[in-house]
Amino acid sequence: MAGHSKFKNIMHRKGRQDAVRSKLFSKLSKELTVAAKMGGPDIEGNPRLRLAVQNAKGQSMPKDNIQRAINKGAGGDSEDYEEIRYEGYGPGGVAIIVEVLTDNRNRSASNVRACFSKNGGALGETGSVGFMFDRVGEIVYKAEAGDEDAVMEAAIEAGADDVQSGEEGHTITCAFESIGDVSSALEATLGEPESVKPVWKPQTGTEVDEEKAGTLMKLIDALEDDDDVQNVYANFDISDDVMAKLADA
């Protein structure tokens, strides 16, 4: 989403690294468990599990934790999780998609609705903002994976659609249907990625001023902090100056 890398910087500010990391591992474990339960523990025969393992490794999740989550799903003794997508608007008319994995639909709906209402947003019906996004595959590499030209060449050879490179790394997008093939081809050239996952990519960005940006970040922060929420996508477009001010606030 627009501003996503800058938002990640804010999420990691002022000593929150450990808490954020713990919550990230919890979300990754849930996805591993669900993937193993739905498609079995064989990574090669279970594309969703393979992506989940790639993502977990990219985030430096310990191997023991990964295997424990897979075993939990494969053993059939895990909770029955339901995948739900919520859609709504945040401050400044920003469109937001929230992906949830939950064992209690009522709890999740109540929590997500509260996050929106307490932070200047409004939860809408399914489909109310989804048409503003495209479902694509996203593969992220750290900057040390290679320079911009090398990564671009590898992405073209792998069949990707676009590459965005910056100081923080490289974000490669491809068709949703080809994420497995593209990520495998890139891994053979560039090594293991930091993350591989399907995402909702905004078609256009919505400009947000400084006043609305602060409230919007609080809304996204609250959603990200919810244990049932796996991913949050939004089409905000916030200037670097405003993001810097928010980071220092």
Residue 215: band (very low, low, confident or very high) from pLDDT cuts 50, 70, 90: very high
Torsion angle of the four alpha carbons 231, 80, 67, 138, in this order, in degrees rounded to the nearest 10: -30
Distance CA 139, CA 174 (A): 8
pLDDT confidence of residue 1: 42
Stated pTM of the model: 0.85
User: For residues 185 and 189, what is the distance between their CA atoms, to the nearest angstrom?
Assistant: 7
Answer whether residue 12 shows pLDDT above 80.
no
At 111, the pLDDT band (50, 70, 90 cuts) reads very high
Q: Are 124 and 148 in contact (CB under 8 A)?
A: no
| Res. 205 pLDDT band, cuts 50 70 90 | very high
* Residue 244: pLDDT band with limits 50, 70, 90: confident
The string of DSSP codes covering 90-134 is -GGG-EEEEEEEES-HHHHHHHHHHHHHHTT-EEE-TTTTGGGEE
Compute the average pLDDT of residues 120-149: 94
Mean pLDDT of all residues in 105-126: 96
At residue 233, does pLDDT exceed 80?
A: yes
Dig out the tokens for 229 from the structure: 């929420």
CA angle 137, 33, 98 (to 5 degrees): 50
Question: What span, in angstroms and rounded, lies between the C-alpha atoms of 217 and 96?
Answer: 12
Mean pLDDT, rounded, of the chain: 89
Looking at residue 7, its pLDDT comes to 47
Structural domains in the chain? 4-74 (1.10.10.200), 82-131+204-248 (3.30.70.980), 133-202 (3.30.70.980)
Instruction: Output the CA angle 30-173-63, nearest 5 degrees.
Output: 35
Least confidently predicted of 7-21, 87-101, 111-125: 7-21
User: What confidence tens digit (pLDDT) does each residue in 135-183 have?
Assistant: 999 999 999 999 999 999 999 999 999 999 998 899 999 999 999 899 9
Find the mean pLDDT for residues 225-249: 87
pLDDT over 80 (residue 47): yes
Confidence check: pLDDT of 51 > 80? yes
Residue 18: the pLDDT is: 63
Backbone φ and ψ of 24, nearest 5°: -60, -45
How many whole angstroms from its chain centre is CA 101?
13
